[in-house]
Structure 1
Amino acid sequence: MRTPPDRRAFLRTGGLAALALGAQGTPALGATGITGRDATGATGTTGRGSVSAPRPADWRALAGGLEGKLVRPGDAAYDGARKLFNPAFDAVRPSGVAYCANPSDVAECVGFARRLNLPLAVRSGGHSYAGWSTGTGLVLDVSRMSKVSHASGRATVGAGAKLIDVYDRLAASGVSIPAGTCATVGVSGLALGGGIGVVSRKYGLTCDVMESVQIVTADGRLLTCDANHNADLYWASRGGGGGNLGVAVSFGFRTHPTREVTVFFLHWPWSRAVRVLRAWQAWGPSAPDAMWSGMHLSRDGGTDVEVVGLYLGGRAGCERLLDRLADAAGSPSSSFVRQTSYRQAMLTMAGCGSLSVSQCHLGGSLPGQTRGGRLSRDTFKAKSHMAYRPLSEAGAKALVAQVARPGEHTVLLDALGGAVSRVRPEATAFPHRTALYSVQYYAHRSGAAGWARTAHAAMRPHFGDHAYVNYIDPELGGWRAAYYGGNAARLAQIKAARDPGRLFRLPQGI
């Protein structure tokens, strides 16, 4: 069996060994960040007149006012500091990259951009699908604010923490939070956009366990937002996406205890794709809450039909549930089912099953990287739908036909339902509570954009116009309704009250 791709980045760590379970413009609500599903950074102008070029003395003053580090063009670290996860945005050259060490640094950068009408972008993991975690002005990087601690069932997590580090550090306390699989995604963008993850059917979205968030607002204030303080910002921060109301610097999350779990990877021949798809969409979203699964229809190095998942329990219970899928889909041509620790399962789901936590990073010496990091960047294009009803036979055939077209691409379907569906759509800013599963069209290398556009358009009659803000799509028409549904109007009201001057702006901003 081949190693499953990292579910957003297609990070390849090689062969069955990776499955060895042996002995992841403008200041965003948070910076970027299932899966290691990522987030929206932000770029734009302050909206108060023309953009002015800061003088050298201005940059020197900013650098002197930071506990962190400001990297400018010509500095040795600049070429690495300016790059995002997706090399498609390598041509963008910021005027400066500020690695903020604390909320005071963030406030300093916000004030700098406000005074000088300078475009500002916020970055944590640098995974923004639209490249909105970089820009030509100042990039505010929160990667240094990555501390993770746990006490009395609650985790405090810095906005710059990468998902694999969140899992690893909480594992020491025998707890975790529901989050995605892409190892290098920043927790902030994931949580602010909702946070679909591998245990969401049991414990909810990442935003559902967010008990508080600290945000630096447009006027430079640091606000604690929870159910009793700044409740409007707290509501908007749970699914409203980044780039609209401020810069998140820290989160408080409710944790759940961990135990051994079971991971699985099942494959069928391409000729069975339609049957497996229809069987999975009936089984996955309605399975017991302890069972999460995703389906991959792939034409990347050959066609493949895969169901991947994680069961919060032992192997025997998992296999009983998988037998129900096989009864409808037919027996898989290959299968891998293994009980393991929760921590090791998260490494495996990130495509890092044979790597250490340190190796499960991008390589380098900048914040968020490790010198022994083995993961690589990927040039990709992606779009999304949220499936509110099952695909018909004709719809399933249409999706399989799109995947079969020439190119290197995958459609990833992630089961929802369970705890996700038991929250009212208006209770948080994330509106897609009744969706059965998310759909991601992910393509890389030559022809990626053309395939993604065609596949998305072909499936629109079947899926409708719902989309996931964490898979931000700069080409999407009607994006307000697609991302936010009935919550769009309330988000706009909060924006008008909290940022009337529209300091925080991005192309798809509230």
Structure 2
Amino acid sequence: MDRREFLSAAALAPFAGAAPDWAALDRTLKGRLVRPGDASYATAKRVFNVAFDNATPRAVAYCASAADVAACVGFARRHGLAVHPRSGGHSYAGWSTGSGLVVDVSQLKAVKLTGGLATVGAGAKLIDVYATLGRSGVSIPAGSCPTVGVAGLTLGGGIGVVARRYGLTIDVLKAVSLVTAGGKLITATAGSHPDLFWALRGGGGGNFGIATSFTYQTHPVQDVTVFTMRWPWSQAFAVVKKWQKWAPAAPDALWSNLHLSQDPGRSVSVTGLYLGSRSRCEALLKGFPPSTRTVKSLSYLQAMYFMAGCSTLEACHTGPRDRFSASSHFAYAEMSDATIRALIAQVGRAGRHTVLIDALGGAVGRVAPGATAFPHRKALFSLQYYAHFDGASAWVRSARDSMTPRLGRHAYVNYPDIALKDYKDQYYGANAARLAAVKKVYDPTGFFRHPQGV
């Protein structure tokens, strides 16, 4: 952002103390401001989770530059408006929307590669990051949901499908540019604003500023092997018992997740990705109970489509929205037989729901818990409780509450659960106090806030 842009962003200062002059903000923005009554408002205010369709923001600002973001922050600050940063709009708790000003960065989506470093706009969708970088033969470790925005994923840590080989998304992060509560654009790196850079690697979105771009170290890509194994429900106990020993201890090149599902029927499956040959992958899969099995070699990009559950770039962009409720745990030790049976019993209850268990270990676990704000480095795997439609929140609450005495009090900030009372301990553990100290430096008045802020 150059000086002229910042002066433009500051041009609204004479309106301080007056009723919000939305027309003045609109004139300042290079992007587009959508207000109630506009033809596109119903679409503009939507986020991924249909449960939040009743939100009525005062406006949605589609920011075309960092200066636009700064203008929105300044405008909201002067008029006492809440800001709701939005990248992909997938916030489980609905914090991508609200009653204030939605600051949408989806137009900041450029992906540029220079000397092995990828600079990615905060609004880029994961599938577009994969596709753009893949054309140059590189990628970054990231998640599988194709329309998740890179900002939300990164700021919370970034568990993904090659994490055991290359680490979390934050482990390859080199710089973050963001607009602070004071409307200033800064870039945090290991050498500049190092405490903030530490906090942005796992401290969660919406706490320290509005990110406008990220710079990542890339890794080269190659053809990979993907696989899916499916079993009847009667094999659930045997599969979970085998998987939890095998997946976190497998070679780093192999990542997998396990789904216990009642959606709509009961099923057990393991899906994964191996950064190597099909024959070697087949050998690594031995020892599971007999299954319906698919193993195939794909290009890296086709493998990302496969993990996302879509077959083309267009299809990855046009998947349906969902009405859901969710929560999470981390498992720091293998589950006992009784715990496995209790988990299976929860999934077997009536409803439409799934427990998704993602393998950790490998490169994720070789980083110290305090080296970044993400504290769950020693966990063997994460568990996500995900339910749809009527009764979803009741099932999630019951399932998680029943498992907490068995698994402990840990949760992933990228799957925020508004029912967690001790959320700071569960999301951040021993890192919570340092995060609060960084917050006081960069946002001393608490301008950026949500119900589970640091």
Q: TM-score normalised by the shorter chain: which range applies?
A: over 0.9
Residue pair 2:264, 2:351 contacting (<8 A) in 1 also: no
Q: Deviations over 1:151-206 (max 9, x none)?
A: 21110000000000000000010000000000100000100000000000000000
Q: 1:425 to 1:489 in 2, by over 3 A?
A: same
- For 2:290, the equivalent position in structure 1 comes to 331
Task: Indicate which of 134, 146, 155 corresponds to 2:109.
Answer: 146
Residue pair 1:53, 1:118 contacting (<8 A) in 2 also: no
Q: Deviations over 1:278-310 (max 9, x none)?
A: 110000000000000000000002100000000
Is 2:127 aligned against 1:183?
no
Residue pair 2:57, 2:98 contacting (<8 A) in 1 also: yes
Larger RCO: 1 or 2 (CA < 8 Å, sep 6+)? 1
Q: 1:53 to 1:472 in 2, by over 3 A?
A: farther
Q: Deviations over 1:64-110 (max 9, x none)?
A: 00000000011111110001101101111111000001100000000
Deviation at 1:54, TM superposition (A): 3.6
- For 2:258, the equivalent position in structure 1 comes to 295
- Counterpart code for 1:447: G
For the residues of structure 2 that align with 1:445 and 1:506, how far apart are their CA atoms? 25
For the residues of structure 2 that align with 1:359 and 1:441, how far apart are their CA atoms? 26
- For 1:127, the equivalent position in structure 2 comes to 90
Deviation at 1:359, TM superposition (A): 2.7
The number of residues matched between the two structures is 439
Query: Equivalent residues in 2 for 1:28-107 (5 A)?
Result: 54-55=19-20, 58-107=21-70
Q: State the SS of the aligned residue for 1:273.
A: helix
User: Normalising to structure 2: TM-score of the pair?
Assistant: 0.96
Is 2:235 aligned against 1:272?
yes
Task: Indicate which of 338, 345, 359 corresponds to 2:315.
Answer: 359
Task: Indicate which of 404, 407, 427 corresponds to 1:483.
Answer: 427
Is 2:305 aligned against 1:342?
no
Q: Which moved more, 1:414-423 or 1:493-502?
A: 493-502
Flag structure 1 segments of 5+ consecutive residues without an equivalent.
1-51, 362-372
- Counterpart code for 1:409: H
For the residues of structure 1 that align with 2:148 and 2:251, how far apart are their CA atoms? 28
- For 1:316, the equivalent position in structure 2 comes to 279
For the residues of structure 2 that align with 1:245 and 1:450, how far apart are their CA atoms? 32
Flag structure 2 segments of 5+ consecutive residues without an equivalent.
1-16
Residue pair 1:85, 1:126 contacting (<8 A) in 2 also: yes
Task: Indicate which of 336, 344, 358 corresponds to 1:414.
Answer: 358
Residue pair 1:159, 1:251 contacting (<8 A) in 2 also: yes
Task: Indicate which of 354, 357, 375 corresponds to 1:431.
Answer: 375
For the residues of structure 1 that align with 2:403 and 2:367, how far apart are their CA atoms? 27
User: Normalising to structure 1: TM-score of the pair?
Assistant: 0.85
For the residues of structure 1 that align with 2:433 and 2:224, how far apart are their CA atoms? 41
For the residues of structure 2 that align with 1:272 and 1:415, how far apart are their CA atoms? 20
- Counterpart code for 2:226: V
- For 1:394, the equivalent position in structure 2 comes to 338
Is 2:183 aligned against 1:239?
no
For the residues of structure 2 that align with 1:119 and 1:503, how far apart are their CA atoms? 8
Deviation at 1:267, TM superposition (A): 0.6
- Counterpart code for 1:382: A
- For 1:370, the equivalent position in structure 2 comes to none
- For 1:254, the equivalent position in structure 2 comes to 217
Aligned alpha-carbon RMSD (Å): 1.1
For the residues of structure 2 that align with 1:202 and 1:451, how far apart are their CA atoms? 34
Deviation at 1:358, TM superposition (A): 2.3
Is 2:249 aligned against 1:286?
yes
Q: State the SS of the aligned residue for 1:305.
A: strand
Q: State the SS of the aligned residue for 2:226.
A: strand
Q: What stretches of structure 1 move > 2 A for 4+ residues in a row?
A: 52-55
Of Structure 1 and Structure 2, the greater helix share is in 2
- For 2:321, the equivalent position in structure 1 comes to 377
Q: State the SS of the aligned residue for 1:358.
A: helix
Deviation at 1:360, TM superposition (A): 1.4
For the residues of structure 2 that align with 1:59 and 1:318, how far apart are their CA atoms? 57
For the residues of structure 1 that align with 2:331 and 2:438, how far apart are their CA atoms? 28
For the residues of structure 1 that align with 2:248 and 2:51, how far apart are their CA atoms? 34
For the residues of structure 2 that align with 1:159 and 1:385, how far apart are their CA atoms? 27
Query: Equivalent residues in 2 for 1:196-235 (5 A)?
Result: 196-235=159-198
For the residues of structure 2 that align with 1:286 and 1:238, how far apart are their CA atoms? 25
For the residues of structure 2 that align with 1:234 and 1:500, how far apart are their CA atoms? 17
- For 1:113, the equivalent position in structure 2 comes to 76
Deviation at 1:53, TM superposition (A): 8.6
- For 1:471, the equivalent position in structure 2 comes to 415
- For 1:38, the equivalent position in structure 2 comes to none
Q: State the SS of the aligned residue for 2:270.
A: strand
Deviation at 1:120, TM superposition (A): 1.0
- For 1:454, the equivalent position in structure 2 comes to 398
Q: State the SS of the aligned residue for 2:240.
A: helix
